[in-house]
Amino acid sequence: MEVDVSGTVCPQTVLVVKRCLAELSPGEELTVVGDYPPAERSIRRSCHKHGYPVTSASTADPDAEFALRIRVTEEATRPASAD
């Protein structure tokens, strides 16, 4: 699954990512692209807190400031609210 959070700011970006992660099963990945660097830090922090491994991803979008790949694991806890 891929989600573009461009044009949004925190905490909305983290909420969008959390909703998407809740739809995925262990072993699946979510790619997040966005244009607001502080959102990247917030997403990484939230994922780390809840046990989701995050790596940088490549994107064909020239306007993207960041692209993250988040993997859903059995050990990850499903976040219920914004951090």
Extents of the domains making up the chain: 6-30+39-58
Helix or strand holding residue 31 (H, E): strand 29-34
The confidence score (pLDDT) of residue 83 equals: 46
Q: The pTM is what?
A: 0.84
State both tokens at 48. Answer: 């780390």
Query: Quick check: 38 and 9 in contact, CB under 8 A?
Result: yes
The dihedral over CA atoms of 1, 17, 74, 25, expressed in degrees to the nearest 10, equals -30
pLDDT-derived band of residue 58, with 50, 70 and 90 as boundaries? confident
Percent of the chain with pLDDT over 90: 71
| Residues present in the chain in total | 83
SS3 of residue 63 by DSSP: coil
